[in-house]
Structure 1
């Protein structure tokens, strides 16, 4: 500054002067460098250690068309604004999860240039994370170690940045998307990760071990159980659902005395899912003392009688019965429901005269206990995955049994959960017949548990119901949820058959103004989306066929 004020003729500037350069030019060059350095807000420092190279990903690259498609889907992931009119264009935001799942099933890896955008999308939408991280592979985890915005990838995948840690990828099991999993073959690594890892890493490790070696996972959990926080014990205990077996009973029975009420309740729920457990036997003894068969009910035949518990003693509470009911529920009915829900369903046949589930459900129940009793049996059928009881409680879809009304007054029954107990084909057929008889108003959650793509009878039933709604003159946005499911779940092969629905039809008398045009627009979007889905699948399928053979499209979208 002094040299600049006095002039370089009077004060030699304290800067380096290149050959052939005068002092004034050298001073101005030094000032420019100083200005840039100040604006950069960084002080010169020694170079840091160069990161280790990214790991190799041996999976095949995406075909060029699929790569371009992914770039378009990621660029459009913001979607259309909430409440805005969608028009006829497919919603790319809703197609991204399906594209990711299909690419993962085909065994591809994501293009390296798109990894940042893929990680950003996964950061913004938690529903994308499992499939996005599986497609991104080990190089995404390498990137996540260098950017705090992507640290979720390390926590969610079980990867670790500590020296000596190792991960490996496994193929899909039961239709699941492959994810990086800890190296459970190294006992020292397992011990260190369990004792030093982040909570999410420990949960992932326990879940992985549970699938491969259930007894080893339980032994690992025992080593630190007494020192874990209550909320952590609850999550660890919940991971035991995978591979639950009688070998887990001693540990779960001990957990019934845990100091945390939530841990005790979860342990009791898991024990009740083991029909041969001591807890299931105790609950059955209590429930069978409350529910019986009255053969003198009258000329209509025998009936089920109910005498609900008069108290919730200490033994019941230890076995997971919550003493205080929610608002609006009576104590005795609340206790009865919990006892019946935890009782093995197989024992009711002997208790009620050797009848099968359908015959038991058909029996009258005295004193207005029918809804309470059938609701508890429904929860038991879901917990115990008993298809025979689920069928009986659902009844015929076209003319639902009294137990399957949608829904009886005061009922807490969940028909969608009952449907998950049935095989996929039977589930789809039941929902198709239900929609044909009752329409779409009560079917949205049922559709959500059906395998994707929908079986032909189910898809046809949904489209027919939408066509009937159009003929009734209502607006299509009254069925926007079902229409959105149809765009994602209908078989793309149905697009040609739906072309006839894209035309604007005459509006019936009394119809909502303009409804015909709106319906035509909605069906045009549906057809366009189905054709785009078909194109996406074709782009992901190489000429010689899929790169891997997996059971595709057998599970509902999550």
Structure 2
């Protein structure tokens, strides 16, 4: 038999066919493997074993379907270690949470917050799962695992997320793309250079379509400053209603603007306090309300009556409420906030006056007004404000007013209500309040829940009715003690109790236990095999 001629191996040639042909010739008669990275893998001295090794190496490359030569097997860049890995239990927990999808989104966010606080990172075996969820990871994730995911993206021939985002932020042209894309790009421009962004917008603004103009005006909320006032004032005369509404939404947030001055003048014209000295000493105060009239000037500033209000006969009251809500609180500086609020509640125009003042306080979060709102509404519900009846509406006002306070002040006031065993009020205010409770307040609240659930059937029915308890699992501080206390409350619930309360407590206990377990996962192991708080 003549010796077969084999094509010379090149860097771009698949070596599978020559190796297969060599196998057909027989191990003893096969030509040697061409030099290269794959040939270096064949260390067997026996011809038969060497040919089998060649078949394995070339076959693996061939089955991969790359169509590339051995030089394509270049190593990736080294992966730097950016910090210690999280404990194995925490890594396993994260994998399980990612597998649950959207339903566990809050817990994934909590996991990354804990990882960031602990200075640890997920292990390498989690990178692929994290890459699959890269677009939906929480805002804290890049600080924890961003460098590793960028490394993996480069290894896979993709653009690293952070580099792509940075390049996009710099290169995105706010003058092109869909409405949403242009709004986002312009907001990014504003975040980098507020003055430059507005200066670039002004000369081309009138040439844009109405929906684009509206979106770009809304984007001015990023970096809003008094320098934007002239442009926004001009937008009040835009031919498109959406553009006018966008400007009317932003202008009340500019203290000292012409818009604020107009609203302040209207508020002072609509509300005044008359004070009279009594013969036997002291002073009486009364609120004088002058309902505004509709006008083109009011409409230009966004103070208009909708169809429902016009049909209901409350057009002028609606104008009053809108004016007060848009006015700066400095318009009422002649008297203390407490007096304005108390007189508003006692007025025959209580609804538009109180809610207008409340809107202004909520917009500015002025501490003095927030405190006064919380004080007066509490007194009103307790029957301490003359002429104001104790109603569910007043209770709702109280709950909303408490929500204006800083978290610590809110907890202090609600803690006092809990200690006073006012179940109706506590349930109403728990519907508002901080997103997350402190550890001391959590303990107080769980003690109160234990007390109420041990009470009468009527108390437990009242507790279950507003469906507030079910949502507490995400807000309570997730300590081991809190999880144990919640489980004990559920265990002691009478068997014959309603499914409504049992369902809520079961959900609360499950969420709180999971959150406590996530924290427990981050505890580092000690050298003796025990666990220490991380």
Tell me if structure 1 keeps the 8 A contact 2:442–2:476. Answer: no
SS in 2 for 1:489: coil
Superposed displacement of residue 486, structure 1: 3.1
Change (3 A) 1:199 1:467: farther
Selected match of 2:227 from 233, 238, 247: 247
Change (3 A) 1:301 1:465: farther
More helix by share: 2
CA distance in 1, matches of 2:399, 2:163: 35
Mapping 1:83-232, distance limit 5 Å: 94-106=106-118, 111=123, 113-118=125-130, 120-121=132-133, 129-132=138-141, 135=144, 137=146, 159=164, 166=167, 182=169, 189=170, 193-196=173-176, 202-211=182-191, 213-222=193-202, 224-232=204-212
CA distance in 2, matches of 1:466, 1:210: 51
Tell me if structure 2 keeps the 8 A contact 1:395–1:404. Answer: no
Change (3 A) 1:407 1:105: farther
Change (3 A) 1:140 1:434: farther
Deviations 1:259-297 (A, max 9, x none): 332332232232212221101111111222122223469
Partner of 1:393: 373
Tell me if structure 2 keeps the 8 A contact 1:492–1:533. Answer: no
Q: How many residues align?
A: 455
Partner of 1:12: none
Superposed displacement of residue 342, structure 1: 1.1
Partner of 1:457: 441
Change (3 A) 1:213 1:131: same
Partner of 2:60: none
Tell me if structure 1 keeps the 8 A contact 2:435–2:475. Answer: no
Tell me if structure 1 keeps the 8 A contact 2:338–2:376. Answer: no
Mapping 1:320-331, distance limit 5 Å: 320-326=302-308, 330-331=314-315
Partner of 1:485: 472
CA distance in 1, matches of 2:446, 2:110: 20
Partner of 2:248: 268
CA distance in 1, matches of 2:201, 2:390: 44
Partner of 1:170: none
Superposed displacement of residue 390, structure 1: 1.8
Superposed displacement of residue 495, structure 1: 2.6
Deviations 1:30-79 (A, max 9, x none): xxxxxxxxxxxxx99999x99xx899887436424232221122123475
Which range is displaced more, 490-499 or 273-282? 490-499
Superposed displacement of residue 381, structure 1: 0.9
RMSD: 5.0
Please give the TM-score of this superposition, normalised by the length of structure 2: 0.67
Selected match of 1:445 from 431, 434, 442: 431
SS in 2 for 1:76: helix
Superposed displacement of residue 341, structure 1: 0.9
Superposed displacement of residue 377, structure 1: 0.6
Please give the TM-score of this superposition, normalised by the length of structure 1: 0.65
Tell me if structure 1 keeps the 8 A contact 2:436–2:477. Answer: yes
1:305 aligns to 2:288 (yes or no):
yes
CA distance in 2, matches of 1:285, 1:58: 63
Unaligned 5+ runs, structure 1: 1-14, 23-42, 80-91, 168-181, 183-188, 547-558
Change (3 A) 1:322 1:527: closer
Mapping 1:505-516, distance limit 5 Å: 505=492, 507=494, 512=497
CA distance in 1, matches of 2:525, 2:404: 32
CA distance in 2, matches of 1:349, 1:374: 16
SS in 1 for 2:482: helix
1:430 aligns to 2:426 (yes or no):
no
Tell me if structure 2 keeps the 8 A contact 1:193–1:201. Answer: no
Tell me if structure 2 keeps the 8 A contact 1:257–1:264. Answer: yes
